[in-house]
Structure 1
């Protein structure tokens, strides 16, 4: 699941090398990727916590506690991403100076920051929901969602917006945002349609099956 997601970001950075003024475009998209990665580990830790907690509660036969863990980590993620996005947006005029003193670079980073904030917001949602998916044993579903969101929608849209619509780096990053939004929608639909009682029964059945195999 994670490989499919991060490879798409790397592909977009590689594609930026074919844009006009490739040096500037690649530099700015690499900066966006760096900032995104720096923030990513915060919601990723929430996702890991949600994965562990949800899987434990389902295995213990407590579906309501699993739902409560999902709501708690979602609330924490919402508060964190609002704070992070607000700080990032307010510092957009000086953010570029952390990576260089070139005025053109600094101005371009300033223009890209609103898109970066949007991608961070959507990425936080999908990271937490992906953690819940792993904890619920839906890794196969999550992988298919990531494959479709990024490689059937996100990257093609990035190519169209970046090269056909001549939006350059903004278009490439906007394509990624579209992919993330599609991923969030699909993961949300899967999560909202989950029968937690049924998932708890399945988790218990897997545990008993593994215990029987170990005894044999």
Structure 2
């Protein structure tokens, strides 16, 4: 009897010990993966907060010049600039898939070739978009926007032309570097440029009274300073394995890369343009200046906070692409779980903050009590948007890392343009909710998209994704013998 009790006790000890080991192993894996995650996510978050912060900073300075300039900038930035941003960022996002998987497969020399191919497409597209910014006022008139706001928008839109070409290089360089986990240099450059822009804008607007020219010129200068620093880093020899100089190979296999770029473009575009369409709709309401100002302030706040989760999007894409390129399906799946739990925890914190401080934030952008009151009426909806935004970007990062751009493009179109916008129009114009109704429609679209992406991710066969990644890399692989400047060969 005593022996039996001893045996039973030893069995229980073994089981408990096994569970402790499993728990310890899970903790170890979680912290190891978290280290890999934050190595990419931390610089990426700082980059995105600083980069988007430059736009928000400009909005804040223009808002204190006059309410008309604030409304005009909101319209130009959210409609015209986001239009270009959506196309160029979307097309450049194909580089996240290609560079991430190539780096995981140790095909290091292919990263520079992929980036040069992206430059060809993005510069051509940026050039084709120039008429939108040259003829901004007539375009906004055609769209039925308020006459005064449309006329004020023209002076702002011309300043955005250098920003369009900045996007073409900046997005590609960022994705090229972050695939190698070398994006800390961009983080330092972006944060330094943000601080410089703050100083320049203050001097130009408040000391020199340069108005729109001072605010916009400071933003253009600060952004291009970041880009020049990135070029120096890449061309100066700090990426010896991945940048082998300009190569004729960049002109090979352009069609398959173009198809992936277009798929990525559609996926990101329909997501970023979603808010642009809603801003246009708000511009048709009574008291358009106040409605536009309040809606754009809330949108800027949520989008700036969203940059944190876009940092996790980039980290998810890099981690998933690296592991798929390396052939480790389990590691890719576990990386998704770690990023999602981390991003959601941060989202809950900001959810509470926006509920508490929703109205107070508006005074950073405008001194108008009427605008502040409108912003306060939206704070609950803003808080729920923030919570959803902590989940959705991570799932989009999974799609980019695995190369599902085409599937997610259809999901985005259905959720945003079939559910979100029509519902927002109904609630905004057929009820007394007005701007709040449009924001509720936006939330419903994001919620529907998040639910569908969760279902797709849960049903994913990760072993099959590894096979697809290997097939893609094998199809576009070029031997590591690349001519640079017409007379240099690498082996």
Bucket of the pairwise TM-score, normalised by the shorter protein: over 0.9
Do the aligned residues in 2 keep the contact of 1:158 with 1:172 (CA within 8 Å)?
yes
**1:32 aligned to which of 298, 303, 309:** 298
Do the aligned residues in 2 keep the contact of 1:97 with 1:106 (CA within 8 Å)?
yes
Query: Which one has the bigger helix percentage?
Result: 1
Q: Which has the higher contact order (CA 8 A, sep 6+)?
A: 1
List gaps (5 residues or longer) in structure 1. none
**1:2 aligned to which of 243, 268, 271:** 268
**1:94 aligned to which of 346, 351, 360:** 360
**1:145 aligned to which of 411, 428, 431:** 411
Q: Quick check: 1:112 aligned with 2:363?
A: no
Q: 1:168-179 residue pairs with structure 2 within 5 A?
A: 168-179=434-445
The corresponding residue for 1:125 is 391
What is the number of equivalent residue pairs in this alignment?
Answer: 213
Do the aligned residues in 1 keep the contact of 2:359 with 2:379 (CA within 8 Å)?
no
Q: Quick check: 1:50 aligned with 2:316?
A: yes
Supply the RMSD in Å over aligned alpha carbons: 1.3
TM-score (ref. length: structure 2): 0.42
The corresponding residue for 2:369 is 103
The corresponding residue for 2:450 is 184
Do the aligned residues in 2 keep the contact of 1:95 with 1:110 (CA within 8 Å)?
no
Aligned equivalents of 1:129, 1:106: Cα separation in 2: 34
The corresponding residue for 2:429 is 163
TM-score (ref. length: structure 1): 0.94
Aligned equivalents of 1:106, 1:36: Cα separation in 2: 16
Aligned equivalents of 2:446, 2:367: Cα separation in 1: 31
1:102: Cα distance to partner?
2.2
1:178: Cα distance to partner?
0.6
- Pick which of 185-194 and 21-30 moved more: 21-30
**2:307 aligned to which of 41, 44, 48:** 41
SS in 2 for 1:34: helix
Q: Quick check: 1:16 aligned with 2:16?
A: no
Do the aligned residues in 2 keep the contact of 1:59 with 1:204 (CA within 8 Å)?
yes
1:49: Cα distance to partner?
0.7
Larger Rg: 2
1:20: Cα distance to partner?
2.3
Q: Quick check: 1:68 aligned with 2:338?
A: no
- Pick which of 17-26 and 151-160 moved more: 17-26
Do the aligned residues in 1 keep the contact of 2:420 with 2:444 (CA within 8 Å)?
yes
1:76: Cα distance to partner?
1.4
SS in 1 for 2:403: coil
1:119: Cα distance to partner?
1.0
SS in 1 for 2:286: coil
SS in 1 for 2:463: helix
The corresponding residue for 2:476 is 210
Aligned equivalents of 2:464, 2:423: Cα separation in 1: 37
- Pick which of 156-165 and 18-27 moved more: 18-27
Q: Quick check: 1:78 aligned with 2:344?
A: yes
